[in-house]
Amino acid sequence: MSDLARKYKAINLSQGFPDFKGDQKLIDMVSAAMNEGHNHYAPMPGIFSLREAIANKYNLLYNSSYNPEDEITVTSGATQAIYTAITAFIRPNDEVIVFRPAYDCYIPSVELNGGIATSIQLESPDYKVDWDGLKQKISLKTKMIIINTPHNPSGTVFSKEDMLQLQELTKDTNIIVLSDEVYEHIIFDKEQHQSVCLFPDLKSRSFITASFGKTFHNTGWKTGYCCAPKALMDEFVKVHQFNVFSVHHPTQIALAEYLKTPNHYLELSNFFQQKRDLFLNLIKDSRFKFTASKGTYFQALDYSNISNENDFDLATRLIKENGIASIPISAFNANKLDNKVLRFCFAKTDDTLKRAADILNQI
């Protein structure tokens, strides 16, 4: 869709990246680190000062501790962390439960390692997990459950009750939980992000993957991290060492310093909620139906009042004929289930959102 948007010069609300610049201070800090000579390999798990800053963040936000020595690894983005965690533990015929719609790297990573992805389809517009139904899907072959909250592409979030249900279902099992929390700092309406690290038994069996690129508006830097108890992280780094080894050193130097100011990430929810509210207010009289996103910088829009086309065809036509790009949610669903929903990214300048809304209001 981004390729089509470039070809037809459409407003691109498809791929999940901002069209505005990240903090110049952070950019200058990376440049300074380069000029100061930090241009060689970083330590394999990441520089200690950055791992320590990440540990301090978890203490501040969740009163939960990860040892920077052996429970945190800096990664080349969250996608690499997800792939590495899966590769460390999934063997041929192991089953991995994936909630759909799902971020598109989960299932290929499972299948590449010979695992079997068991999809559980969540239904729009609420995308709630049926925990009794999940219980029926768990078998002796179930090795891992992948969750994502706040959730891409639906913009929903797991509640405290959801996490307690997951903790109870996995208690006294060997099931590993892979928790994709890349949008942890983008959650709205004064809700609290329910990280797996808030639930002791769940934390003991879980990986957390996170993204500095998503958090600080520099997705092309591909820098993230993974947290897990030592027993899990020991296996993670055995894979990390040989598929990445180490991550861009100057960026790590800058991020270690930048994280010392918590407002750099604590202000993100308000920042993106203003953009969500602006976007939804601008399209409130359109023919699209929606439930306001509860987290991430994505908004799902139901177009069932507008067209009977499948979502891929409509998304393509909107680029070519209307000059606006979105993502068809069927691409994230099991069996390409089409619920007549498109995903729009509102991590854009106010001007971009206003121009996009003008188009959407005419459809």
CB atoms within 10 A of CB 34: 15
Mean pLDDT over residues 178-200, rounded? 97
Place 260 in a pLDDT band, splitting at 50, 70 and 90.
very high
Band (pLDDT 50/70/90 cuts) for residue 310 is very high
- Tens of pLDDT, residue by residue over 347-358, are 999 999 999 999
For 3, counting Cβ atoms within 10 Å of its Cβ (0-12 exposed, 13-18 middle, 19+ buried), the class is exposed
Superfamily of domain 2-16+266-360: Aspartate Aminotransferase, domain 1 (3.90.1150.10)
- The pLDDT score that the predictor gives to residue 255 is 98
What sign for the dihedral angle of Cα 281, 284, 286, 290?
positive
- Share of residues in the chain with pLDDT > 70 (%): 100
pLDDT value for 131? 95
Give the closest residue to 192 by CA, choosing from 294, 124, 272. Answer: 294
pLDDT in tens, 222-247: 999 999 999 999 999 999 999 999 99
Secondary structure (DSSP) of 112-173: HTT-EEEEEEPPTTT----HHHHHHH--TTEEEEEEESSPTTT-----HHHHHHHHHHHTTS
Averaged confidence pLDDT in the chain: 97
pLDDT digit string (tens) for 8-26?
999 999 989 899 999 999 9
Q: Which of 149, 218, 179 is nearest to 82 (CA)?
A: 179
What pLDDT sits at residue 336?
93
Provide the pLDDT confidence category of residue 153 given band limits of 50, 70 and 90. very high
Tens digits of residue pLDDT in 201-212: 999 999 999 999
Helix (H, G, I), strand (E, B) or coil at 314: helix
In Å, the largest CA–CA distance within the chain is 58
Element (H, E) at 283: none
Contact of 225 with 54, CB cutoff 8 Å? yes
pLDDT of residue 238: 98
Closest by Cα among 248, 210, 258 to 27: 258
CATH class of 24-260: alpha beta
The predicted pLDDT at position 4 comes to 96
Q: Which residues belong to CATH 3.90.1150.10 in the chain?
A: 2-16+266-360
| Whether the model pTM is above 0.95 | yes
Q: How far apart are CA 196 and CA 128, in angstroms?
A: 18
**What pLDDT score was predicted for residue 5?**
95
Q: How confident is the model at residue 300 (pLDDT cuts 50, 70, 90)?
A: very high
DSSP H or E stretch at residue 100: strand 95-100
Predicted confidence band of residue 361 (pLDDT cuts 50, 70, 90): very high
Where in the chain do CATH 3.40.640.10 domains reside?
24-260
Among residues of the chain, what percentage have pLDDT more than 90? 99
Give the model confidence (pLDDT) of 82-118 as tens digits.
999 999 999 999 999 999 999 999 999 999 999 999 9
